[in-house]
Structure 1
Amino acid sequence: MVSTFHGLETVRRGMSTQQSALYTTGHNIANANTPGYTRQRVNFTQTNPYPAAGMNTPKIPGQMGTGVEAGTVQRIRESFLDVQFRGEQTKSSYWESRATALEKMEEIMNEPTTAGLANTMNKFWESLQDLAGNPEDLGARAVVRQRGQAVADTFSYLSSSLKEIQEDLGSQISNDIKTINSLSEQISKINKQISEIEPVGYLPNDLYDERDRLIDELSKYVDIKVHPARNSGGNSLPVAEGILDISIIGPNGESQFLIEGSKFSRLSVTPADDSDLDGINDQPTGAVEGLALVDESGNSTSLNFIPSGEMKGLIESYGYKETSDGPVKGIYPEMLDSLDKMAYSFITKFNEVHSEGYTLKIKDDPNNPSERGGAFFTPLDTYKDAASLISLSDAIKDKETGLNKIAASSLIDQDGNGIHATKLADVKNYKFTGTDGTNGYPFASGSIQSFYESLIGTMGVDAQEAERMANNSVVLLDSVDNRRQSVSAVSLDEEMTNMIKFQQAYNGSARMITVMDEMLDKIINGLGVGGR
C-alpha cells in the first residue's frame, strides 16, 4: 500500500523543482544584457508513478503520481534562424566593406567640385584659350604654366591618396585574417571543452552560447557552413548539441574545413613569408594572389576561391590576381591604372602637339629666336605610375626662360600668332582611334575628357549600387535578427511572469506540506487516545 509519507515526498519534489525553475529565471534576468546569451528553461518531467509494474505489485485502484523533477536546463534557440542570420551577415558585411571603400574613393576623387581633376584640367584648357588671344603676354603664359603645374599636382595627389587608402585596406585585410584565426582557435577550444563535459551528462549552455557568439562573429568575415553536430559520446544527453565542424564556402559551393572539432587551420595569404602568414602589404605583387589554410602540422591547402563576406569586399577593393601571371584586378588598382593611362596619354599627346608649335623669342636678344616647342611635361617611357610621376619639364619650369618656351605660335618668329595655343587647348577633345594603341597610347577609344567622365560615372554607379545593396542587406539582417531575438533573447516581462508562476507553485507545494503535516499530526497524536 502507499506509504503514509508518500505525499510529503511528492510535494518535496515539487518544491525542489519549482525552486530550480526560479533559479533559472533569476539566471535569465541577470543575463538579460549579456551579449550572445540565450534564455534557458527547466524541462519539467513527471517522475515514475507508483507502483511500478511487477509480479508483487500491490493491489490499489491505480498508479499514483509521485511528483515532478527537473529533467534538463535547456537553451531556447532555433538553429534555422542562426543559419539565416549568418548568411545575411556575410552578405551585409561584404556590401558594407565595398560601399565604404568606394565612399573613400569618391571623397578623394572629389567630383564634381571645383577642387576636382576635371575642373583643374578645364582651367588649364581655358588658360590656353586665353593665351591664344594674347600670346605675347607673359602674365597669360604664367597662368598656363601655373595651371599646368596644378594639373600635375592634382594627378599626383589623387594617385598618392588612393595608394594610401589601398595600403590601409591591406592592413585591414591583415587584421581580419588575424581575427579569423583567433576566432577559429577559440571555437576549437570550446569544442574541446564541450567534448569533455557532455559525456558526463551535463548541458554546458554557457559554452554553447559563447560558441554561437563566436560563430556569428566569424560569419561577418567569411562565408561559412556549420556542419551537423557530432556526438561527444559517453553519457551525452539526447538534447546535447555536440561538437561542431565549420567550413569556408566559395561562391560556387566549394568548401574547405576551417575547424574540425578541437583542430583548426589558420588562414593566410599566398605567397606569404613564414614569419608573417597574415602579411598583405608586404606582398611583392601588391595584390592578393590567393588564400591558403595552414593546419596545426604546417600543411598548407590553397583555396581556389575568395570567400564572401567582409574579406571579399576588402580584397576586391585592395586588389587581387586570379592567376599568378594574370592582371591585378580590384577597385583601387583599376582606378590607379586608369589614372596612369589618362595621365600618360594626356602628357604624351600634349607634348606631341606642343612640339609642333613655336616658342616666344626673347625681346632684344638675337641669340634666343623662336624655335620649335619642346616637351611641356616631362616625357615618360611607360604609363605605369604616370599619375604620380607627371611634372612640368625643366625647360618650362625655368624661372628665366620657361615662360618663353611655351609654344603658342603656329609660325616661326610670329609672336602675335596664337593659333597653336588653340590647338593645344583642343587636345582635350582629341579622339583616340584604334591605331593610337599601336603608337604608344594605353587607351584607344574616345577623348581624354570623355575617358575621365566615363571613369567617374562608373565609380558613381558602383558606389550607388554598393550603398543600395548594403542598405537592403542591413534591412534583411535586422529582420532575421529580430525574429531570432524573439525566440532566444530574454524578455523581462516574460521572466517576471514565469517568476510569479513558479513562486506560486512553490508556495502551493509548501502549503501542501503544511496540510500533510496536519494529517500526520492527527494520525500520530489524535488516533488511539479514546481509552486513555
Structure 2
Amino acid sequence: MSLNALNTSTAGLQVTQAAIGLVSQNVANAGTAGYVKRTLTSVSTLGNSGVATGTISRTLDAVSLKQLRLESAGAAYTGLSAKVQGQLDALYGSPGSGSALDGVMNAFTQSLQALTSDPTSAASRATAVSAARTVATTISGIARGVQDLRSGLESQLGGDVASASTLLSQIADLNGRIAGTPKSDASTADLLDRRDQAINTLSQYLDVQVSDQPDGSVTLLTASGATLVDHGAAASLAFDGRGALSAQAQYSADPATRGVGTVTATTPAGATIDLVATGAIRSGSIAAAVSLRDETLVQAQRQLDDLASGLSRALSDRPATGTAATANGLTGFDIDLTGLQAGNAVTLGVRNAAGMGRNLILMPTNGAAANPIDPALTDDPTALVVPVDISGGPATFAPQIGAVLGTGFTVSATPGGAAGSVRILSDPAGLALTSASASVTVPTSASDTKTGSGPLALFVDAGTGNGVFTGSFEGGSHLTGFAQRLGVNPAVTADSSTLVDYADTTASGDTARPQYLTAALTSRTLTFSAASGIGGVSAPRAATVTGFTQSVVDARGAASAEAQQLDEGQQIALASAQSRFGKESGVSVDEEMSRLIQLQTAYSANARVLTAARDMLDTLLRI
C-alpha cells in the first residue's frame, strides 16, 4: 500500500507541476495578442490508482472568434472609408469660409453683381476676372486632390494585397505543421495561436470564410466561394497597380479598357480569378479601397466635372426650348438649333402608347465620336443616346436628325425659321413627343467675345488649347476630367472690358452683359447629371450653378459625417467582439492566480503523502 501511495503521490506531483507551469505560461502571456488560454486535462491511470498528464488544450470560443473576424473586417472597411471621406471633405474647405468652394463661388457672384452696378469701373472688372480665376483654381485644385486620393488608394491596394498574399502562405505553412503535430503536444497550441492570429490579421484586409478540417488544418474561402487556402496550399494574390491615376482611369471588367489595377487570385488549383470583377471581396481594407477608388471618388470627380461644365455653359450657352407645332395630324415641336455644336445635346421627351415616358438624347457630333455613346456620361443615364452627324452644317440638321430617328417621326426645317431651326413631329397616338430642349453654345472660340449682350466663354478648357467647352464626345468624353482643366478665357484676362463690351458699338456703362452673367449663375436653371448623385442617382437634377455648388458642398459634408458615424458604430461593435472573445478565451490573471492556489494546495497534499510514505518505508527498513 505504501508503494501505491508513493506512486500515486509522485504522479500527482508531476501533473500538478505541469499544471503550475501552464498557469505560469498563461499569466506570462496575459497581454500577448492572439494568445488563447491553455488548460491541462489530466487522465487516470489503470484501475484509477493514479493520475497522469493528459492533453493541453486551448479554451477557444469558436463563435466569438468568428464574430471577431467579421467585426475586424468591418472596422477596417469603415475606418478607411471614414478617413478618406474626411480627407475628401477637407478639400472643399470649411463651408462658408472665404477659401471654401461655396465661398469662392459666392465671391465670384458678388463681383459680377458689383460690376453690374458700375460696369465702367476697371477695378470692378479686374476683381471679377480675379474672382473667376479663383473659382477655376479652386475647382481644379479640388479635382486634382480627388485624383491624388485615388492614386494613394491605388498604392495602398498594392501593399495590402501583397501583405494578404503573404499571410495566406503563412497560414498554409502552419496548416501543414499543425497537421503533422500530435494534438496533445504543447507546441500544437502555439501553432494554432499563430494561425488564428494570421487569420485575424488577414480579416482586416479581406473577409474570409474559415472551415475546420479533420486533420486540424483549415480551409479559407472568399465570400463568393473561391478557395484561398486548402490544407498546405495557398492562393497567391496579385495587384497590377497603375501608379498615378487620372480622371479617365476607371475600372472596367474589360482588361482592354480598364485604367486602374485589379486584384487577382491564382488558386491552389491553378485558376486565375479577378476578385474585383466577381465581387469576391466585400469587406476589409481592400474592399474599402476599391469602393472608394472606383465609386466614391469617381462620383466626387463627376460632381466637380458637372459643376465645371455647368459653370462654363451657363455663361456661354443659350437655352433652346421647343415650341409646340402641329401638321397633318402630327404633333411635336419647333426648336431653334442655330449655332448647334458637337456636344450640345438635344433632349426629346417621348411617351409610348402605354404611357411610359423616356428621354431620347440626340448627341451632335462631327463624325469622330464613339458610337454608341455611354448614357452615363450624359445628364440622364436612363436615356437612349443617338449620335447625329452635324458636320455638314445647319442645312443638314433636319435630314440627319430624321435619318437617326427613323420611322415614326417626321423631321424638317422649320417653315419660315432660321437656318438650323428644326421641326420634329410624331403621331401622338403612337410615340408622342412631350418636350424638346437643348443648350446651344454660342461662342465658337475663346476669342469670340462679341457674341451679343448675353453669352460669353468666360471659362474654357485649358487642357485643350483654351477651347470653348461644349460637352463634345469627339475623341472621347470632354466632360470627364474637365474640372482639372478648367481655366479662365485668356482673351478676357487680357482685356477685362469684354465682361461688358459685347459688340463693337456697346455703349459705355451698358449693364446688359454683367446682368446676363449674374442671372446665368443665380437664376438660370440647368440640368445636372444623375451620375453626380446629388439628390439621388436615378434622375437628373435641375438647379442653378450656385445652388448646385451648395448642394455639392452639403453632400460632401453629409457623406463625411455619415462615414464617421458608421465607423464609430463599427468600432464599438469591434470592441464588444474583442471583449467577448477575451472573456471566453483570453487569460484572466485573477482566475489563474486562484487556480494557482488550488494547485499549490494539491502539490502540498501530494508532497505530504510522499513524505509519509517515505517515513513509513524508512521505519520498515530499520525493523
* TM-score, normalising length: structure 1: 0.80
- 1:394 corresponding residue in structure 2: 490
Query: In structure 2, the residue corresponding to 1:514 is in which secondary structure?
Result: helix
The structure 1 residue matched to 2:273, chosen from 298, 301, 315, is: 301
Do structure 1's residue 487 and structure 2's residue 451 form an aligned pair?
A: no
Amino acid paired to 2:457: A
Distance in structure 1 (CA, Å) of the matches to 2:528 and 2:87: 36
Do structure 1's residue 230 and structure 2's residue 214 form an aligned pair?
A: yes
Instruction: Say which structure is richer in helix.
Output: 1
- 1:360 corresponding residue in structure 2: none
- Report which of the two structures shows the higher radius of gyration computed on alpha carbons: 1
Unaligned runs of at least 5 residues, structure 2: 254-261, 319-440, 444-449, 461-467, 473-477, 531-538
Query: In structure 1, the residue corresponding to 2:31 is in which secondary structure?
Result: coil
- 1:54 corresponding residue in structure 2: none
- 1:13 corresponding residue in structure 2: 11
Distance in structure 2 (CA, Å) of the matches to 1:281 and 1:129: 41
Amino acid paired to 2:251: A
The structure 1 residue matched to 2:309, chosen from 344, 351, 358, is: 344
- 1:377 corresponding residue in structure 2: 459
Query: Could you list the per-position Cα deviations for residues 447-486 of structure 1 after superposition, in whole angstroms to 9, with x for gaps in the alignment?
Result: 2222222223333332222222211121121112111111
- 1:452 corresponding residue in structure 2: 549
Per mean C-alpha deviation after superposition, the further-off stretch among 464-473 and 142-151 is 464-473
- 2:258 corresponding residue in structure 1: none
How far does residue 281 in structure 1 lie from its aligned partner after superposition?
A: 5.4
How far does residue 161 in structure 1 lie from its aligned partner after superposition?
A: 1.1
Distance in structure 2 (CA, Å) of the matches to 1:131 and 1:410: 18
- 1:134 corresponding residue in structure 2: 118
Instruction: Say which structure is richer in strand.
Output: 2
Query: In structure 1, the residue corresponding to 2:488 is in which secondary structure?
Result: coil
How far does residue 162 in structure 1 lie from its aligned partner after superposition?
A: 1.2
Q: 1:152 to 1:370 in 2, by over 3 A?
A: closer
Do structure 1's residue 80 and structure 2's residue 63 form an aligned pair?
A: yes
How far does residue 296 in structure 1 lie from its aligned partner after superposition?
A: 5.3
Q: 1:435 to 1:449 in 2, by over 3 A?
A: closer
Distance in structure 2 (CA, Å) of the matches to 1:523 and 1:434: 110
The structure 2 residue matched to 1:468, chosen from 527, 552, 565, is: 565
Contact 1:409–1:417, Cα closer than 8 Å, also in 2: no
Unaligned runs of at least 5 residues, structure 1: 50-64, 232-241, 273-277, 320-329, 357-368, 527-532
Q: 1:469 to 1:282 in 2, by over 3 A?
A: closer
Q: 1:370 to 1:157 in 2, by over 3 A?
A: closer
Contact 1:340–1:385, Cα closer than 8 Å, also in 2: yes
How far does residue 229 in structure 1 lie from its aligned partner after superposition?
A: 2.2
Query: Could you list the per-position Cα deviations for residues 121-149 of structure 1 after superposition, in whole angstroms to 9, with x for gaps in the alignment?
Result: 11111111111111111111110111111
Query: Could you list the per-position Cα deviations for residues 186-240 of structure 1 after superposition, in whole angstroms to 9, with x for gaps in the alignment?
Result: 1111111112213796660000001111111111121111112232xxxxxxxxx
Query: Could you list the per-position Cα deviations for residues 288-334 of structure 1 after superposition, in whole angstroms to 9, with x for gaps in the alignment?
Result: 74543213575312341142222221111101xxxxxxxxxx11111
Q: Residues 175-194 of structure 1 correspond to what in structure 2 (within 5 A)?
A: 175-194=159-178
Amino acid paired to 1:186: Q
Q: Residues 13-162 of structure 1 correspond to what in structure 2 (within 5 A)?
A: 13-49=11-47, 65-112=48-95, 113-162=97-146
- 2:290 corresponding residue in structure 1: 315
Identity of aligned residues (%): 22
Do structure 1's residue 524 and structure 2's residue 621 form an aligned pair?
A: yes
Contact 1:370–1:413, Cα closer than 8 Å, also in 2: no
Distance in structure 2 (CA, Å) of the matches to 1:370 and 1:287: 41
Contact 1:121–1:151, Cα closer than 8 Å, also in 2: yes
Contact 1:174–1:279, Cα closer than 8 Å, also in 2: no
How far does residue 410 in structure 1 lie from its aligned partner after superposition?
A: 8.7
Number of residue equivalences: 459
Distance in structure 1 (CA, Å) of the matches to 2:303 and 2:452: 35
Contact 2:264–2:273, Cα closer than 8 Å, also in 1: yes
Per mean C-alpha deviation after superposition, the further-off stretch among 197-206 and 453-462 is 197-206
Contact 1:226–1:244, Cα closer than 8 Å, also in 2: yes
* TM-score, normalising length: structure 2: 0.69
Do structure 1's residue 165 and structure 2's residue 149 form an aligned pair?
A: yes
Contact 2:98–2:104, Cα closer than 8 Å, also in 1: yes
- 1:366 corresponding residue in structure 2: none
Distance in structure 1 (CA, Å) of the matches to 2:565 and 2:177: 43
Do structure 1's residue 287 and structure 2's residue 287 form an aligned pair?
A: no
The structure 1 residue matched to 2:218, chosen from 223, 244, 252, is: 244
Distance in structure 1 (CA, Å) of the matches to 2:522 and 2:136: 19
Distance in structure 2 (CA, Å) of the matches to 1:410 and 1:425: 19
- 1:326 corresponding residue in structure 2: none
Contact 2:36–2:59, Cα closer than 8 Å, also in 1: yes
Query: Could you list the per-position Cα deviations for residues 397-444 of structure 1 after superposition, in whole angstroms to 9, with x for gaps in the alignment?
Result: 22xxx122223669933111223212211111344467999xxxx966
Distance in structure 2 (CA, Å) of the matches to 1:260 and 1:435: 51
Contact 1:408–1:420, Cα closer than 8 Å, also in 2: yes
How far does residue 388 in structure 1 lie from its aligned partner after superposition?
A: 1.1
The structure 1 residue matched to 2:180, chosen from 178, 189, 196, is: 196
Amino acid paired to 1:132: T
The structure 1 residue matched to 2:227, chosen from 235, 257, 260, is: 257
Amino acid paired to 1:309: G
How far does residue 350 in structure 1 lie from its aligned partner after superposition?
A: 1.1
Distance in structure 1 (CA, Å) of the matches to 2:541 and 2:575: 47
Distance in structure 2 (CA, Å) of the matches to 1:188 and 1:481: 25
Contact 2:69–2:200, Cα closer than 8 Å, also in 1: yes
Query: Could you list the per-position Cα deviations for residues 83-131 of structure 1 after superposition, in whole angstroms to 9, with x for gaps in the alignment?
Result: 1111122222222221112111111112413211111111111111111
Contact 2:500–2:512, Cα closer than 8 Å, also in 1: no
Query: Could you list the per-position Cα deviations for residues 132-178 of structure 1 after superposition, in whole angstroms to 9, with x for gaps in the alignment?
Result: 11111111111011111111111111111111111111111111111
Q: 1:31 to 1:178 in 2, by over 3 A?
A: same
How far does residue 280 in structure 1 lie from its aligned partner after superposition?
A: 6.7
Per mean C-alpha deviation after superposition, the further-off stretch among 25-34 and 175-184 is 25-34
Contact 1:73–1:203, Cα closer than 8 Å, also in 2: no
Amino acid paired to 1:345: G
Query: In structure 1, the residue corresponding to 2:85 is in which secondary structure?
Result: helix
Amino acid paired to 2:222: I
How far does residue 34 in structure 1 lie from its aligned partner after superposition?
A: 1.8
Q: 1:370 to 1:84 in 2, by over 3 A?
A: closer
Query: In structure 2, the residue corresponding to 1:391 is in which secondary structure?
Result: strand
- 1:404 corresponding residue in structure 2: 497
How far does residue 371 in structure 1 lie from its aligned partner after superposition?
A: 8.2
Do structure 1's residue 428 and structure 2's residue 521 form an aligned pair?
A: yes
Distance in structure 2 (CA, Å) of the matches to 1:508 and 1:200: 27
Amino acid paired to 2:299: E
